[in-house]
Structure 1
């Protein structure tokens, strides 16, 4: 399905002479600014063509890119519903985070998403990018800061759109789950173009694609609907105790109401006794949001003269994601609201006053209650993305040059419903006008007083000016000496706010991710391609970046490519890279989020996890993360139909930016008590955290690329392809100051399976083209639970295409052919959404028509 560029070595190495090679068109491959006839360079580049994309049966550009084997962990798609960036999708090459993989469109940067993922990750949302306009995708699996600057530590994905397209192509696809979940999906695309640069002196290409998919709730998936996981390792009845008094779930407040049922406390929390009122949270849990997206792309090129052409492209995307944010709000101990003047959280009293209908006693009574009659809390994220870019490129005085200016942006509007008004809550509590014990008696007027809807805006913009030029400086005995240089200026801006209800202290239990900052970046870069002897090329590159906030960074790179024989290529690179501190890490930012800790000094539950609030702030003194990359590879191509590529990578990063772990803060509370806030009982309420340059991280592994094409005579042709990635090490400290611990094959640092693989077989015979793809994710050790290993999982995808007429093709697509269930992972309640998909088998029909 997906072919590595290494395979093209078989074609290039079979050329009979250098003279024949010089007749080939010189092109720029991702990772270099120098034009070359060598399709295979010193770094491994995986190419996904438009034909490969169609054969995959995937409905979005994000699904296509995220399926590659080098996407080894710590990347998220819209399954991450608890995020500040719900509905998005990113890519994490080598598992070191989306912020370390650079996404380009036509070799140029685009704006990151409007706000940050996990508070600090600034990333490009793949769901905002067009699908129909893609001619190919090049994935550089090597550090490339020497060419592109920050964020290219793990690699680069360059999405290349059609420059010319003749005719018009229409497609429509309809599909749904076969497992009774009720989830359906529809998509359509238009691609049209006219004009030829060679014949007409101009070309125009326009594309439009749209996608709609229903929301998937946990209670729609049979094996998760009951939230009863007691048959799995370390599993329990994942119901939520609610409506009780004095912080004791066995002291019931009122009777059964709404979704509440009586359950043994020990079934929910092993070791406990008694009976509790609890509810199944599955009906309030969105596994995959409902989405609707539309993308458009317009690209025009005008030939000014024989040596010069002007170009412009415009990208626009609109996407919407709808989800159930969570169950109705639970009020109880630890309830907070934001105090903007103090930049802290205020504690909200949750006590039934004397005389309240639910308090028969003579003293105020602590209680916990879920406000079921207000309804589930819902969220909708609406995003508009654009990029406008114009430039001129050509040849002048022996130089090939490209100059452009661009503006890109991402704008988010997030609306939430059925949150709770803090001031009205305090009033109805004091008045006794809201019945917590029997919510059926509450009037709709009182409910509406409590309900709160808010709007959270966020925007990110990127302005760029780029120039680069290349030339063959001299003819050396082994070939021409290539040289390229260039400059770049860009301005990065992010303005991610919270709602006015949060700032005024009106919203109860607020989540906040305020980011407000901008910076300018200027860079100079240069590159030499030196033919040392016949068949041996050395490439030297360097880039100097100057940031207006933290200062400077320099990124050098040296690589070598040796064509040892027609069938054998040896290659390697050594480079330094960097990731600049993101705007939420270094600029004016504040976040409030929620997590859980085990506190050995907790007076009530010292051995059990307890929910806490995290307040995280930026650090203006941060330095960039510095990385050292080593890549070594070999490609064996005994014929034009066969190739084997093996590439080793090693990335060591110093000064990784993160916050101190909660466990470390608690362990060192005596020396830094200001980081821990406890209530009157001595239980932790808030942890104060700040970003800092901390320890090192070492990641290493190999990529294996295999291809074999077979002619079957009257039975057509068969193409076999496989990409396998194996992680040797993923080492980082578990706490500040501790030695490195290997997280490969476990989930110390997010689940990092040792093996990931994508293997496909494509059979073409007559009017039929069929592709069968096997996606494999290795198992991993469960580090937070004893005697548990998450099992490996493999899924099969099938795509059968029938060319009904020369213009029309019908495809039958089945994803997860055998309806394979995600592997159980108790640390995530049921499965790790970064590694698996809960939808089960889905089937679709696609119609494609060209005219």
Structure 2
């Protein structure tokens, strides 16, 4: 039943990018992500998923982000441009095992690249996948195993190594045009150019260059038919999403004026159960961007030059530009909680927001509290422009049986965020005092007054990275009875800097209701590492690795790892690994940083609504005394090949983290107010207005799960070839404490700690026959429990959902190919999630069916 070398051929099919080219006289050694030693085995001791350029093309994905985020191991807590309310709008990251973007290391050609210019969720530093070139990608290797011993911090959950072309012959041009079929008006345009010249073996040099671009229209909630009305009362736990505004004295039924613009008279009870009367409210859908409009361009160039038979020099340049346009929010609503930043105090000042006596909108004889939305100023708009540069040069070669490589690199990510139609605090105070702005009937306001109030600002940010790497390895250090011992060693140095600022308008106290994410820090990191590959007995190899890091801000970290690979039979490979790792505190967490964000809490001591959620301001500070998060990783698996055209890979992972860095939850702070009242600021009515938080090393986390990789190929002389593949990930446990000092609570299969479905799977079938190639991709996301479901949510469960993508390519001529694709073939809607506005954007998107056509020409 089992053919000779069947396991090798099957694993080669399962992991094509790490398969060595075999000839009758020579076995070529290759370097696999996760190791520095060049080996000839076709699968290593740890699981590596490889996505080739051909598979990327067949998937129909149009960006690096779409390709990486679609893998089954990206189980939760990762964000793309749908997260429009963040300080990193328009970006995209990856979160292996649901451990967050800060725990997944992204490399370009095995080397680090600068993180995004500012932080996601105030504390997560990450590589923006939207800044990386799609046309230059030769393959993507995903190591689903902790690799701190090889790469250092932030490889706790695994590594994504994006391999760009180092050589390309000829020229390839492509152009693509697509559009939503669902009437949203969203279109997408893509183009790419890839070219190369020079043959390294014959000409002693080669050069490769690529350029790609993408442009896509903005998608607002009001563009999507089933979301535009904001009425979800037909869903369990759903409601009529209306924002109540324009009222006096804290009572929504005391109307300030009447209907105007988008503000309509609405029954109070239709918005909040148990209420009576009428209120003025508006539908927020036109002011909610689901997917920003984007324009992106990427370029990549690499040159290789042979110096002599044993030495070559290389140089790379990578450029990325991305612009994201979105509606940040509805026009500003002014109320008694109106604030402005006091930079001297490093705190927020409350702005007096009472209608003075004599104001046209105040009929009484005393100053009057009021709430109003300044609709005539227009939507608040945001544009984020991001530029990424990376320059890398190096020299590598062989000497005395050793392979060596030395390189220097510099990369930088810069952000310019501009906003429009925000409000000038000082002009607002003037018009409030002199009565020149009419809140009740804004049509009476002059354009001169509106322009005085409007405020546009610029927020700059920059992150940079300097790297120096040197490594050497020998696949045959010395001989043992079972084979050659391999050894690798090296040293690395890097300097990280982040300078994320706020606008001058915020610092001067000019901007009303500011959000702030100031990060100002740098660190130097030096490291040495070593790796040993030992053939213990025939077909059993043990790999030992260790790394020592020194960080200029917190000190030292040591990361050991041991792994084993056992070829038990031609058809069976057993593998496993155990390691210790760490994640260094990010620069936002440990350096001179401060942040202001807005959230909501339930305060049992609230004098007005002790059971209702109330909006509060969070002021968050860094902590220079933080220690790194520590981790223990364990992996065990096998690869089974019953025939030379099939393989089954099964891997178990277990990750335990301690000293997780975070801030005390709002509920914790409120529950312990008597112990530390300085963390809470209350207004003159006794209601919470501000919570003060600081990063600290807090609780532990445990996660475990299983990855299943299935591959099967059928070949027929008459019917072509059919290739089937499926990657399935199952989360067994994802546990954290709900609050400081409490035992771990398992959140797998719920949205307790961000939505973590227990099951995710991606399956595909590719049929090649003659001039045709067709791929059908099935993506499955499992359902999950509602950990924080509302009282009216009777289902308390978010359904699973399936999407299907279809691509079909026709080779019109030897050098010309036409490809048609349909994304979300069945036009499946994301499932209802009552804890969000409709659906969880980390798991799905609202575009519906999307069709496109692409023409590719090679010469």
State how far apart, in whole Å, the 2-side matches of 1:273 and 1:78 are. Answer: 39
1:770 aligns with 774
1:22 is displaced (CA, Å) by 8.1
1:506 aligns with 510
Q: 1:22 to 1:687 in 2, by over 3 A?
A: farther
2:340, 2:509 within 8 Å by CA — same for their partners in 1? yes
Q: Deviations over 1:61-111 (max 9, x none)?
A: 100110000000000000000000000000000001000000000000000
Q: 1:11 to 1:663 in 2, by over 3 A?
A: closer
State how far apart, in whole Å, the 2-side matches of 1:736 and 1:150 are. Answer: 25
Q: 1:375 to 1:7 in 2, by over 3 A?
A: farther
1:10, 1:639 within 8 Å by CA — same for their partners in 2? no
Pair 1:792-2:800 in alignment: yes
Pair 1:495-2:477 in alignment: no
1:736 aligns with 740
SS at match of 1:137: strand
SS at match of 2:506: helix
Give the counterpart of 1:811 among 810, 819, 834: 819
State how far apart, in whole Å, the 1-side matches of 2:431 and 2:8 are. Answer: 66
1:175, 1:186 within 8 Å by CA — same for their partners in 2? yes
SS at match of 1:804: strand
Pair 1:103-2:111 in alignment: no
State how far apart, in whole Å, the 2-side matches of 1:665 and 1:612 are. Answer: 13
1:273 is displaced (CA, Å) by 2.0
2:123, 2:586 within 8 Å by CA — same for their partners in 1? yes
User: What are the residue-to-residue correspondences of 1:464-503 with 2, within 5 Å?
Assistant: 464-471=467-474, 472-503=476-507
1:23 is displaced (CA, Å) by 2.1
Pair 1:384-2:378 in alignment: no
2:136, 2:300 within 8 Å by CA — same for their partners in 1? yes
User: What are the residue-to-residue correspondences of 1:273-284 with 2, within 5 Å?
Assistant: 273-284=276-287
State how far apart, in whole Å, the 2-side matches of 1:331 and 1:457 are. Answer: 27
1:653 aligns with 657
1:623 aligns with 627
2:582 aligns with 578
2:151 aligns with 148
1:264 is displaced (CA, Å) by 1.4
Pair 1:538-2:542 in alignment: yes
Pair 1:849-2:857 in alignment: yes
Q: TM-score, normalised by structure 1?
A: 0.98
1:617 is displaced (CA, Å) by 0.4
1:271 is displaced (CA, Å) by 2.4
Q: 1:359 to 1:111 in 2, by over 3 A?
A: same
1:412 aligns with 415
1:11 is displaced (CA, Å) by 9.2
2:707 aligns with 703
1:6, 1:45 within 8 Å by CA — same for their partners in 2? no
1:62, 1:127 within 8 Å by CA — same for their partners in 2? yes
State how far apart, in whole Å, the 1-side matches of 2:761 and 2:499 are. Answer: 39
1:707 is displaced (CA, Å) by 0.5
State how far apart, in whole Å, the 1-side matches of 2:686 and 2:718 are. Answer: 79
State how far apart, in whole Å, the 1-side matches of 2:228 and 2:609 are. Answer: 29
2:10, 2:643 within 8 Å by CA — same for their partners in 1? no
Q: Deviations over 1:219-246 (max 9, x none)?
A: 0000000000000010000010010011
SS at match of 2:804: strand
State how far apart, in whole Å, the 1-side matches of 2:375 and 2:72 are. Answer: 44
Q: Deviations over 1:347-369 (max 9, x none)?
A: 01110000000001001100000
Give the counterpart of 2:722 among 714, 718, 727: 718
Q: Deviations over 1:589-610 (max 9, x none)?
A: 0000000111111111111111
Which deviates the most, 660-669 or 267-276? 267-276
User: What are the residue-to-residue correspondences of 1:292-371 with 2, within 5 Å?
Assistant: 292-371=295-374
1:456, 1:498 within 8 Å by CA — same for their partners in 2? yes
1:59 aligns with 62
1:8 is displaced (CA, Å) by 2.3
State how far apart, in whole Å, the 2-side matches of 1:128 and 1:251 are. Answer: 50
State how far apart, in whole Å, the 1-side matches of 2:41 and 2:238 are. Answer: 55
SS at match of 1:818: coil
2:532 aligns with 528
State how far apart, in whole Å, the 2-side matches of 1:375 and 1:752 are. Answer: 38
How many equivalent residue pairs?
Answer: 845
1:204, 1:299 within 8 Å by CA — same for their partners in 2? yes
1:690 aligns with 694
Q: Deviations over 1:145-180 (max 9, x none)?
A: 000000000000000011110000000110010000
SS at match of 2:851: strand
1:449 is displaced (CA, Å) by 0.6
1:145, 1:576 within 8 Å by CA — same for their partners in 2? yes
Pair 1:552-2:556 in alignment: yes
1:267 is displaced (CA, Å) by 1.6
State how far apart, in whole Å, the 1-side matches of 2:287 and 2:58 are. Answer: 36
1:274 is displaced (CA, Å) by 1.8
State how far apart, in whole Å, the 1-side matches of 2:855 and 2:644 are. Answer: 33
SS at match of 2:472: strand
Gaps of 5+ in 2: 1-6
Q: Deviations over 1:763-815 (max 9, x none)?
A: 11111100000010001011111532100010000000000001000001100
Q: 1:21 to 1:257 in 2, by over 3 A?
A: farther
Q: 1:49 to 1:293 in 2, by over 3 A?
A: same
1:19 is displaced (CA, Å) by 11
State how far apart, in whole Å, the 1-side matches of 2:560 and 2:352 are. Answer: 58
2:444 aligns with 441
2:123 aligns with 120
Q: 1:18 to 1:448 in 2, by over 3 A?
A: closer
SS at match of 1:71: coil
SS at match of 1:828: coil
Q: 1:575 to 1:5 in 2, by over 3 A?
A: farther
Q: 1:538 to 1:75 in 2, by over 3 A?
A: same
State how far apart, in whole Å, the 2-side matches of 1:205 and 1:5 are. Answer: 32
Q: TM-score, normalised by structure 2?
A: 0.97
1:10, 1:637 within 8 Å by CA — same for their partners in 2? no
SS at match of 1:199: helix
2:752 aligns with 748
1:5, 1:47 within 8 Å by CA — same for their partners in 2? no
State how far apart, in whole Å, the 2-side matches of 1:560 and 1:12 are. Answer: 18
Q: 1:408 to 1:361 in 2, by over 3 A?
A: same
CA RMSD of aligned residues (A): 1.5
SS at match of 1:54: helix
State how far apart, in whole Å, the 2-side matches of 1:194 and 1:18 are. Answer: 23
2:145, 2:156 within 8 Å by CA — same for their partners in 1? yes
2:424, 2:510 within 8 Å by CA — same for their partners in 1? yes
State how far apart, in whole Å, the 2-side matches of 1:352 and 1:530 are. Answer: 79
